[in-house]
Structure 1
Amino acid sequence: METSAIDRARTTEFAPDTVYLNTSSCGLLPRGTVDAVTTLAEENALGRRPGGGDHGTVAAARDGFARFTGTDAGRVAVGGSVAGQVALVAASLPAGSEVLAPEGEFSSVVSPFAQRGNLKMRYVPLAGLADAVRPDTALVAFSAVQSSDGRVAGLEAVREAAAAYGARTLLDASQAAGWLPLDTGAYDYTVTGAFKFLLCPRGTTFLTVTEEAQETLPALHAGLLSAQDPDAALYGPVQRLADEARRFDEPVSFLSYAGAAHSLALLDGIGVDTLHAHATGLAARFRAGLAGLGHEAVPGDSAVVAVPGLGSRQPVLARAGIVVSQRAGNLRAAFHLYNTEADVDRALDVLSG
């Protein structure tokens, strides 16, 4: 029988000693990613890497993210934190602008706007987000998949409503990119913490910006690597910023991005449609098993499964070697390429008591 791309990746890249269902918090690092980081660290220790790393590897990670998420590399800026990249968008808004967001949205998505102190923040239930867009809405900021309970936003409806009123959109894809097919080019901005379903080391984030939105976004992190010609921008203020989204790059960790280049190539080789089918299939099996035990999960077809009121069982699962998380009272389990039906059944067995 032919071995699937997921089976090959699971065999060659992963060997967890737990039942790991916590990718929503942090993804497992593939073996090749660990090797890339280790190799660079050892080269630094031996003095073989002047400057500590390779700008070409950062470019490879940028290209890999663009390819996997269906956008152009010229729209992608690299960074180290979602909040830092959201802050660029927050800084671009005129005082008094209205920012619309879901109630209970992840802190990094809304805090940079709220901390401005001179923006109008409005929060509505996720299900009513599209209907809540109005003529004076400047920006809709929301996650594709909610961190607390795995709900998937009505992406097309929000995009259409924002376009109808001339509002821009900021999508956080941190809980989605890696298993949910996304068109990042359909939003004015997207931010993605790549250490979850993209299986990159912490310290890798990606910001996408449309060409139109690039005209109003401030290059607050501008430095040597933001220049059109970095070799000519070593000293003094950068005279000419890069023509593309690279001008919004943050200074990055070469170690993190050395690993990211491998992780993104691995996922791209499998394909997001295959990853989606695998992860959501396991999640559906888990929801069905939970229902059989009398526990109703948050409905939907997300790869992230949340069970209201069951968060207190997280320590019990941990003692049994099953890694999940507790968020807002929910027991939260997330499924990815390294998980199997046996993982689902083991978790259900423990929950059955």
Structure 2
Amino acid sequence: MQRREPLGGAEFAPETTYLNSASSGLLPRRSAAALRAAVVESASYGTMGRDYFAAPNAARAAFARLLDVPAERVAVGSSVAVQSALIAASLPPGSEVLVPEGDFSSLVNPLGSHPHVKLRTVPLEALADAVRPGTALVAFSAVQSLDGRIADLAAVREAARAHGARTFVDATQAAGWLPLRAGDFDYLVSGAFKWLLCPRGTTFLAFGGDASEDSAWPAALHAGWVAGEDLDESTYGLIRPAATARRFDEPHAHFSYVAAEHSLALVEELGVPAVHTHNTHLAAYYREGLAARGLTPRPAPGSAIVSTPGLADAERRLTEAGVRISVRGGLLRAAFHLYNSTDDVDRLLSLLA
């Protein structure tokens, strides 16, 4: 198989063999430099910097371009769980929400713990067929965190439309390497600290559909001053919510979004299709190496995440050798991203041997 060097050039020079992007991504050098400058600035201008809104607005616009949705339909936040709770609270009492078994808790738990929601779980592969009359929402990860399985996005979307259900997609394990269109779904949320290379505390919530269909938006239940149409008039008392998805903004973590602006710019420069080709090539190369050693990973065709049973005990030895990797559900999970190379795969395979 063709050899591959890392993408991103001098933006990355990790001291480890880093194969853990499904847990958190590496911060590009440009983002780290911007973050250091913002910290220095805060000593004279406060922890909101000289311009509190410039970075999140630039990051919002970049995320919107990456997910092919108008920036006016994107809100910035801090966590998937908060955004999931917002969607849960928007549902009528008694609503059935359909989710895959074992999906990530930050998506599922806020839905399942809401007193007005009836949660129903089915295997991921049965998700599209399980949509039925009366299903109000289908919520699922585009890519499963545990083992990298990719949902049949088109099938679930069409089944939901056929039954009048809305769709809520968690793209945390997909955005940045798997080509996606947020407009294909009613709601799309993404924690940006993994494949989008941003710090923790950066999350985006995109609203699909026609940008003029404001009636499809839920109530802005956690709206604070940053969600007001006129920020100069939104500091005290009841506010007039913004006319755009900014009405769902949370007061953002300034330093996180300063770095996010630059990280997302790098992903844009490289292009998601190129990153997808690179990542899936490395994952396929790793699968071939596992097969040659008599090892069989969990089936996840076309995924950048490869999870393998029977290797969990290797994590400590790999960590001691400078390989950053994770174990989830008894599976050794390797995640291949733009800063990895075939040399990284070869090193992992040799250590496993």
User: After the TM superposition, which residues 148-167 of structure 1 pair with which residues of structure 2 at under 5 Å, given as runs?
Assistant: 148-167=146-165
Correspondence for 1:342:
343
Task: Tell me the CA shift for residue 225 of structure 1.
Answer: 1.5
User: After the TM superposition, which residues 271-310 of structure 1 pair with which residues of structure 2 at under 5 Å, given as runs?
Assistant: 271-299=271-299, 300-310=301-311
Correspondence for 2:315:
314
Correspondence for 1:207:
205
Could you say if the C-alpha distance between residues 314 and 57 of structure 1 is closer, same or farther in structure 2, counting changes exceeding 3 Å?
A: same
Question: Identity percentage over the alignment?
Answer: 55
Task: Tell me the CA shift for residue 316 of structure 1.
Answer: 1.7
* Residue-by-residue CA offset, 1:127-184 (whole Å, 9 max, x unaligned): 0000000001000000000000000000000000000000000000000001000011
User: After the TM superposition, which residues 131-170 of structure 1 pair with which residues of structure 2 at under 5 Å, given as runs?
Assistant: 131-170=129-168
Task: Tell me the CA shift for residue 87 of structure 1.
Answer: 0.6
Q: Would the aligned equivalents of 1:53 and 1:254 in 2 still touch at CA under 8 Å? A: no
Correspondence for 2:21:
23
User: After the TM superposition, which residues 1-353 of structure 1 pair with which residues of structure 2 at under 5 Å, given as runs?
Assistant: 9=8, 11-47=9-45, 53-210=51-208, 211=211, 212=213, 215-238=216-239, 240-299=240-299, 300-352=301-353
* Residue-by-residue CA offset, 1:208-235 (whole Å, 9 max, x unaligned): 1134476341212212221111122222
Could you say if the C-alpha distance between residues 214 and 189 of structure 1 is closer, same or farther in structure 2, counting changes exceeding 3 Å?
A: farther
Task: Tell me the CA shift for residue 309 of structure 1.
Answer: 3.0
Give the Cα separation in 2 of the matches to 1:136 and 1:165. 8
Q: Partner of 1:25: helix, strand, or coil?
A: coil
Task: Identify which range, 308-317 or 70-79, moves more after superposition.
Answer: 308-317
Q: Would the aligned equivalents of 1:287 and 1:305 in 2 still touch at CA under 8 Å? A: yes
Task: Tell me the CA shift for residue 256 of structure 1.
Answer: 0.3
Give the residue type in structure 1 aligned to 2:61.
Answer: D
Task: Tell me the CA shift for residue 65 of structure 1.
Answer: 0.4
Number of aligned positions between the proteins: 346
Q: Would the aligned equivalents of 1:24 and 1:175 in 2 still touch at CA under 8 Å? A: yes
Q: Partner of 2:45: helix, strand, or coil?
A: coil
Task: Tell me the CA shift for residue 68 of structure 1.
Answer: 1.1
* Residue-by-residue CA offset, 1:254-287 (whole Å, 9 max, x unaligned): 1000000000000000100000000000000000
Give the residue type in structure 1 aligned to 2:136.
Answer: A
Could you say if the C-alpha distance between residues 111 and 46 of structure 1 is closer, same or farther in structure 2, counting changes exceeding 3 Å?
A: same
TM-score, normalized by length of structure 1?
0.95
Unpaired runs of 5+ in structure 2? none
Give the Cα separation in 2 of the matches to 1:53 and 1:152. 39
Task: Identify which range, 78-87 or 43-52, moves more after superposition.
Answer: 43-52
Give the Cα separation in 2 of the matches to 1:169 and 1:50. 35
Q: Would the aligned equivalents of 2:74 and 2:207 in 1 still touch at CA under 8 Å? A: yes
Give the residue type in structure 2 aligned to 1:61.
Answer: A
Could you say if the C-alpha distance between residues 332 and 214 of structure 1 is closer, same or farther in structure 2, counting changes exceeding 3 Å?
A: farther
Let me know the Cα RMSD of the aligned residues.
Answer: 1.6
TM-score, normalized by length of structure 2?
0.95
